[in-house]
Chains A and B, each alone.
Chain A
């Protein structure tokens, strides 16, 4: 049962130098209680995709397509509708737990704020709930920490506060945008544990955005690989690592040490060539410039995800990587 269904989502920014296409015809679906990973190099449009879902992009962004959350269309919905969705049905965790928390308000106040606006709690009740939520995300002595300011907490604890804030109203979808990137390796695993635990306990669907294949291997059920604003491959996590079909994915995997064992330690290494962050050629494979298997047709026609709209293993590639049998180690 799909909680969130995104079809043909495109984002174009109006800039000083003309329109800039950043996200192009993205399809995505998220089932209840599922953890889907979106992986891709920095600047490929992951965050913009996530922010566009609830209208969080600046007004210079033109968002088209559709994103249906439990029967409600979000793209183009009025601000009043989106405000009720944000923080209550779709909640976010961002990369920098320090700068994402307001330095001049206590964490209890910042968590309580969500409950007060969406559930109409009184200040005292919101505070009591904030203490419970801090306990839920594994913060020791929550009754004391609730009155702390962000600068009094460690990075990992701050990220737990962000998570507590995000799950306060029991959202249907939790978007975790690089939730562990800014954290120490030792702290990363703990944060991923909290996310997994919340999925079990609250049944929340999680969209994990990262450029770290280790995180994907650790936590995701399914994976979407994004390149230059497009989804180029969609697969179950095991299929992806065992048998990548898109040449970009294959390049990523080849450039990374074997993931899984030391979860979170392997960052995506740059694969050779310039990273085109923009969707430059509308009628071509955006990866053609860097692809060893590129042929003429790759430059004149855009490959679409195959099979379109489904959830099986598919790649947007005219000449997919041939499967090496038994090479899944």
Chain B
């Protein structure tokens, strides 16, 4: 266990360092002078020099990176070059929105995907499989942002069942919070569930054909026990991997969903920052994404070891 944590820790640090360094150096290698962008009206050489000095742009990129890294370790991610707001403060308001959206969406996607995938595998060749397969194919083919538009059109604008846009923090008003987040969660969650469903179906079909499932049937177990205790548990190993790999799709999806439903989240912050070359914010975004990647990989490993004794973390092999 200790060996595992140690390896994990230094791998994580390396990933964080590399991701940040590549982006840090990369955006500075781009054409375009950020000082010019910052200067606004006054583009006199003196003003530009002052800006460069203020943001440390007159030093070498390595010095700049060292300073950035040192500040980041101390919890200071700088201030937005656009708004002058502290980046940590921006993250403080944006991240809770996206984390809530992402967690609920991935939960919905997993429940729907694993459920429908299992049904499709078990009811192979029956109407239920056709239905589940068809829905998954549609889920893969439909532009989800468009579904969002249509949902706003018919469920918000015409009927007023849901608010069309905006966000209320959970702690301010839980009911209003959920009311605002339901539609975005459904749109994002169903989008992700198609992939999970297809993966579940195919690994369930594999599991149902295994020898140990034959053994379970030969023991006289009920189908429910054969499927739940024996087949599903084993196919979840693959499903967990796939769910873990949805991080990229989840963030991309969150960007679009936030855009459509006007949620002030991480996705919106990202798009704005990249468009406006807001370096400190871009760096923070990359740092957060890399951290999420590391965290999710760690979580996936933990889940593996819960499901599969053969890869138990630090467990003694026979």
Binding site for B on A (CB under 8 A): 54, 56, 83-88, 91-92, 94, 96, 99-106, 113-114, 117-118, 148-149, 151-153, 162, 165
Contacts and interface: CB of A to CB of B under 8 A. Distances in A.
B221 interface: yes
Contacts of A104: 233-234, 307-309
Nearest to A102: B212
B225 to A, nearest CB: 7
Contacts, number: 82
B179 interface: no
B216 interface: yes
A165 to B, nearest CB: 7
Contact of B222 (A83, A85, A100): A83
A114 B308 CA distance: 22
Contacts of A165: 215, 219
Contacts of B233: 102, 104-105
Contacts of A99: 210-212
Contacts of A106: 309
18 contacts: A56-B217, A86-B217, A86-B219, A87-B218, A87-B219, A87-B220, A91-B218, A99-B211, A100-B214, A102-B212, A102-B216, A104-B234, A104-B309, A113-B225, A113-B229, A117-B219, A117-B220, A165-B215
Contacts of B212: 99-103
Question: What band does the interface of chain B fall in when counting residues whose beta carbon is under 8 Å from A?
Answer: 20 to 34
B73 interface: no
Nearest to A80: B222
5 shortest interchain CB distances as A-B pairs: A152-B318, A87-B220, A86-B220, A87-B219, A99-B211
A92 B317 contact: no
B309 A151 contact: yes
A244 to B, nearest CB: 33
Contacts of B214: 56, 94, 100
B220 A88 contact: yes
A118 B220 contact: yes
Nearest to A92: B218
Contacts of A85: 220
A230 to B, nearest CB: 25
A147 to B, nearest CB: 10
A113 B221 contact: yes
Interface centre among A96, A101, A148, A152 (most CB of B within 10 A): A152
Tell me if B's interface is mostly helix, strand, loop or mixed. Answer: helix
Contacts of A96: 211
Contacts of A87: 218-221
B310 interface: yes
A228 B210 CA distance: 25
A100 B215 contact: yes
Contacts of A103: 212, 234, 308-310
Contacts of B317: 151-152
Contacts of B222: 83, 117
Nearest to A55: B217
A152 B317 CA distance: 7
B215 A101 contact: yes
Interface centre among B210, B211, B220 (most CB of A within 10 A): B220
Contacts of A84: 220
Contacts of A153: 318
Given A83-B222, A117-B220, 6 more contacts: A102-B230, A103-B310, A106-B309, A114-B220, A117-B219, A117-B222
Interface in B185-239: 210-212, 214-222, 225, 229-230, 233-234
B211 A100 contact: yes
A59 to B, nearest CB: 9
Nearest to B236: A104
A91 B216 CA distance: 11
Given A99-B210, A102-B230, A105-B229, A56 B218 contact: yes
B124 to A, nearest CB: 9
A165 B308 CA distance: 21
B309 A114 contact: no
Contacts of A148: 318
Interface string B124-136: 0000000000000
